[in-house]
Amino acid sequence: MRASSLASKRTYRGSRPIPGIHIYMAEHKKIRLQVALSRSGITSRRKAASIIEEGRVLVNGSVIRERSHPVDLESDKIVVDGKSIDAKEKIYILLNKPRGYITSRCDPEGRKTVFDLIPSRFKNLHPVGRLDRDTTGLLILTNDGELTYRLTHPKFEIRKKYWIRCKGMIQDKEKTRLERGMVIDGKKTARAKVTLLKNNTDSSELYIEIHEGRKRQIRYMFLYLGRPVKRIERVAYESLTLGSLKKGEFRYLTNSEVRRLKEL
């Protein structure tokens, strides 16, 4: 079996040696300059547009202010603020985030971050969306800015599935409110899909699927109902699931998994 295939099937803890990096090779073709900056990992797609329009980008020695200008990351020399960018190998990691870690590269308060769980060579990756400190489960880390944008922007309606344990019994009308949406901070939440697993007097367990990613949204939704959340775990990102991955472990996404995410 090839090394890349082995790497995609193994899981690792932060202190364990890394046998190889599983990468997804992009096709060799012309793309828009704005997309090229995003895919290089130096900035988001939205910020790339501003950088280009401000005249901070050179392509083969010429200032380009048109975001749709066609470029080839493999052959064109692209310079941003005096620094050349290169076509980087794209890395995609799936981490099963434990409780007690924040989704950030570093923390001024000295709290543990998800980057403490992976080798230092991957400090250039960024998380796709966020999970709060007490939320566990599926977290993607990558240096692919374009994919991050598509997976996190609400207009693409990417489904995320969470397992919830909350206080008390969920009534039919409360389930309907969750599914139809409710107003939080002056804005109504999008429709959700709710599947009850256990519904008891002291606590209930359920799955909820949403495509939004507002800060602490699920916790606020259940507080609105008077059902404080006891535990939250993200168990799926569209078709991507944790499988047998244990808390604190990570693995590399396979080419087919990355391809399916890109096709969304």
132 is annotated as an active-site residue: yes
199 strand-pairing partners: 204
Asked whether 180 and 150 are in contact (CB, 8 A), the reply is no
Q: How many CB atoms lie within 10 A of CB 147?
A: 21
- Which of 132, 134, 172, 202 is an active site residue? 132
Question: Catalytic residue numbers?
Answer: 132
